[in-house]
Amino acid sequence: MEPTFVPGLPSPVPAHLPDLQNLLLAVPVLLFSMVAHEYAHGYAALRQGDPTAYQLGRLTWNPVKHIDPFLTILMPVMLYWASNGAFMFGGAKPVPVNPRNYRNYRRGDIIVSLAGVATNLLLVPLCAVVIVLLGLIGRGIPAAIDTLSLLQVMMVQGVVFNLVLAIFNLIPIPPLDGSHVFKYLLPPAWALRYQQLGRYGIVILLILLWTDIGRPVFSAWMKPVTVVAQSTMEIVFPFFLKSPYAMGIG
């Protein structure tokens, strides 16, 4: 499961924009971020010797192939409207992999598991660079400022969404990506029992998100998202175009 937005983090859209416009701006960005994450898993698996995702047609940038009707569409929209735009959580269909095909099981498992996280982290500075380029273009073409400003807003979303995806998926709770690395730090008997927690993974995550005991732990884990996002916004702030769409960003 891939998260798209969680409470307590910097908002990736200007709060004054209408809810529908916020949602329309956010959907393509979060969808691309989730597809990039899943594509990276499939591509890494192929490089490690497992062609499962490729053979099943999942090694593609076509978002339709990665959409789960409930996780990708219904759940994020329902949570967005129920929380007045403060909370979104959803997921893409996991790319199928067969670790038994890896040339080196342990190495392949770690590489494939971290490929999605690495891709999301790579997209963060890429979005920041695009914000700067759009700002420079807008200064030279004033008539395009409103359009370019909306694109800048979407890139701000890209910074936050991809940070959330990366840091969240590193949580060492099965079946999240971080668990595939953490299990190798445990003795074999402990690692087996640890992986069996995967059947309760969603329940544990909900406890972290919604209980008084879990929220402080979750907030502490996600703190790098706030720190890095705010630092990135400070760097690119001089390049934000002066437009009603960009009010409240930075």
245 pLDDT band, cuts 50/70/90, is low
> Per-residue pLDDT averaged across 78-98, rounded?
74
The pTM for the full model equals: 0.86
Dihedral in degrees, nearest 10, Cα atoms 169, 174, 179, 182: 140
What sign does the CA torsion over 227, 217, 113, 187 have?
positive
Q: Are 249 and 229 in contact (CB under 8 A)?
A: no
Does the pLDDT at position 1 exceed 70?
Answer: no
pLDDT tens, position by position, 60-76: 999 889 888 877 778 77
Active site residues: 38
